[in-house]
Structure 1
Amino acid sequence: MTGGIFEGFEDYRTATEDDYKDTLTSGMVVFDANVLLNLYRFNSTTRADLIKVMQSLGDSLWIPHQVMREFWRNRESVIDQLGETPKESLTKLDKARQDAEEAVRAWSNRIYLPEGERDGLLTRLNGAFQAVRHTISEQAAANAHPHDTNADEIVAALGSIVAGRTGAALSPEDHDAAVVEAERRIAAKEPPGYQDKDKPDAEGRAGDYLVWKQVLLEAERQPRDVLLVTSDGKDDWWRRTKGQLRGPRLELMAEFRRCTGHRLFMITASELIRRADSLTDVHVNPESAEDIERVETTNAEPIPVDVAKGVVAEIYRRLANEHDSLLPSRKEYRVFSEWIEDPLIGGVLLDYMPAEQAREWIKETELHHNLDALDGRGPYAHLVPRRYQTVDEIVVAACGPDWHQLPDSKGVVPNHCYATNGTDIRSVCWGRESPFDELLAIASRVQDPAHVRPVIMVLQHAPLSDPEYYASVASKAGFDLAHQQLELRPNPDYVGQ
């Protein structure tokens, strides 16, 4: 007896349009936690489109208990992260403004431009940046999501969609056994979930496998094909060729077929929306797929964590050796191009992504993560050889040697903490000089009338332009004012080479 070309090799066959349609209507469609959490990151049109598609699935939709657990465990941190995004953008905007001011001053000096004309140009320049800042702040306020679940429209929509369509938790015995199996798979690099090996706790490392185990059990209980909709692009779920997703890992497809007798399909959320008109009866905005893909790409982990840390450490070492904590905008393109050609940076990244994505990855590392690291924050804070003043150093400079930060009181937007001298408590806020009125306004949000007079610390690369004026404005608003020059100091947590 002879078989066809796919006999014994069924899992190599590319899924067809009909495969997806049949599974969407008569199979089981599973959304993972990152898709649900990304609802907070999408714009309102995209969010509405994805919710419409989910609603159209009816009883085909099923959500594992572990997915809902991860949704609730991470929901508030996602909302908080989105609240930090405007601050990060404003920091980058301030850097661009400083570069632009520097360029205007250098040009005006070269041509001996009268001081009045130069100041007029700088005023217009700052006005343009202020207008953009105002727009970013307004947009951030309009897009903010409430922590209160009773006021959260996303929670309300999901509550209706998943009602009666979520799985039960594993029994304590089965859960413990699944965590043990997840650890075994991580050690053996067996999918899914082995790329979560760097997560600090066993529960976190086991998350992907717990989802997988619950999907297998439900598909055994209700034997049918499964379509997993995900925004997780890691290689411990996907088979990939030259950066392109080709389908589920062959090991996962074989395990699913062995346990259930049915087929496993996977699709990204962006691809589902891109093909929604042909796969479902739902019409969506053509731009929604691009919005989802943008979010998926922004939040993706394109390379293993340990590899990423090695590349980041090399980038930060180069910056330190060149005595640059941040690259001037005019220098970025040239340096990024050189790094793409460098075997220790681009040579590593190009094994995981195309050149243009590698350039964006480098840019994000230098502009975004580096700013956090220089302030002692973020996943790469231990990789910068030097960093700016710590919170404790800021508190002492702002309040005096008898003051220290209250534990767990540090917050962002604005950067602030509460400090004590053992008797009194006061809020300490810090940020850059420009624009001072905005720093003052956001500092007002975190002051507590029950505490002693709050203080604003202005951190600058150069001395304050008009300290008496700022002190007067701060005093009228009920704040003390302190200022200190930003200074790169040896990083005590540095673990680089």
Structure 2
Amino acid sequence: MPSMQLPTALRDILLREIYQQANDLDWEFLSNGEKTAQYRKWIEDPKVGGVLLSHGPEKDARVWIKDVPMKEYARAQEGIGHYVRYAVNRFRGPEEIVQAACGEGWSPLPGSLGEKPNHCIATDGEESRYVCWGRPGTFRDLIWAAVNEAIEAKRHPAIVITTRDGETVSTADRARQIKVAEHCGVSLTHLHRTMIPNPDYVGASLED
């Protein structure tokens, strides 16, 4: 964890600014090279690096940006974690995932949300079921997590492959994923999601 000690109010301003810029850049669709270039731009940005460098050396500023706001960015867009309120737009949350996998009447069990991969325990009030989800490139991790749960589960675990606007799964890949899931005794759902304005958003302007 970065050693930078930032006043709470200043930290809040930085998180808001970085998340606003990440949203404008459509961060999740940037290549690794583009993300590396953006980290450099943030260090050079008076509203980000200019503030951080007044509280510590450049190496600590770089680590802080990567390990604090951006490490949590994808989770915040999922509606999970302590940084949700800084995300300008986000998905509808685990409830949408659970209902796609299990149907109406099911919801995430409070306190069951986890990550690596994103997962939760879904319940209809009587039965429970493990559900994990992620983008198409995470299918291998998702199937491994689900298979491990299937060993002792009373109900088949569920995987949800999520896509968003601008992202698709080819017909061949979809068919292959379905076959693998069936072979492993895991249910599989493909869900295309659209982001919504974050109802918990706190705003992003440094002049607020």
Structure 1 residues 301 and 429: alpha-carbon distance in aligned structure 2, compared to 1, 3 A threshold: same
Residue of structure 2 equivalent to 1:409: 112
Identity level (%)? 35
Query: Is 1:399 matched with 2:102?
Result: yes
RMSD (Å), alpha carbons = 2.5
Q: Which residue is equivalent to 1:306? A: 9
Partner residue in 1 for 2:185: 478
In the TM superposition, residue 366 of structure 1 has moved relative to its aligned partner by 5.4
Distance 1:397 1:455, change over 3 A: same
Corresponding position of 1:439: 142
CA distance in 1, matches of 2:88, 2:177: 33
Q: TM (normalized to structure 1)?
A: 0.37
- Specify every segment of 5 or more residues in structure 2 that has no aligned partner in the other structure, as ranges: none
Report the counterpart of residue 194 of structure 1 in structure 2.
Answer: none
State the AA in 2 paired with 1:427.
Y
1:494 match: secondary structure: coil
Give the counterpart of 2:86 among 371, 383, 387. Answer: 383
- Say if 1:428 and 1:456, in contact at 8 Å, map to a contact too: yes
1-side partners of 2:81 and 2:125: how far apart? 30
Q: Would you say how many aligned residue pairs link Structure 1 and Structure 2?
A: 200
Deviations 1:272-302 (A, max 9, x none): xxxxxxxxxxxxxxxxxxxxxxxxxx35343
Structure 1 CA distance, aligned partners of 2:30 and 2:176?
A: 31
Tell me the residue number matched to 1:420. 123
Q: TM-score, normalised by structure 2?
A: 0.81
- How far residue 305 of structure 1 moved from its aligned partner, in angstroms, is 2.9
Is this contact kept in 2: 1:346–1:358, CA < 8 A?
yes
Match of 1:127 in 2: none
Say whether 1:463 aligns with 2:199: no
Give runs of ≥4 in structure 1 deviating > 6 Å.
none
Quick check: 2:78–2:93 contact (8 Å CA) kept in 1? Answer: yes
From the two aligned structures, give the one with the greater helix fraction: 1
Q: Is the 8 A contact 2:90 2:196 kept in 1?
A: yes
Q: Secondary structure at the match of 2:137?
A: coil
Once residues 141 and 27 of structure 2 are traced to their aligned partners in structure 1, the CA distance between those partners, rounded to angstroms, is: 28
Matched to 1:321, the amino acid is D
Q: State the distance in 1 between where 2:96 and 2:62 align.
A: 35
Matched position secondary structure for 1:483: strand
**Is the Cα contact below 8 Å between 1:369 and 1:380 reproduced in 2?**
yes
Go from structure 1 to structure 2 and tell me whether the alpha carbon gap of 1:328 and 1:388 turns closer, same or farther (over 3 Å shift). farther
Listed as ranges, the matches of 1:17-416 within 5 Å are 298-325=1-28, 327-365=30-68, 367-416=70-119
CA contact (8 A) 1:427 1:451 kept: no
Taking structure 1 as reference, are residues 332 and 434 closer, same or farther at Cα in structure 2, changes over 3 Å only?
closer
Counterpart CA distance in 1 for 2:7 and 2:103 is 44
478-487 vs 299-308, which moves further: 299-308
CA distance in 2, matches of 1:346, 1:435: 32
Q: Which amino acid aligns with 2:190?
A: H
Higher strand share: 2
Higher relative contact order (CA 8 A, sep 6+): 2
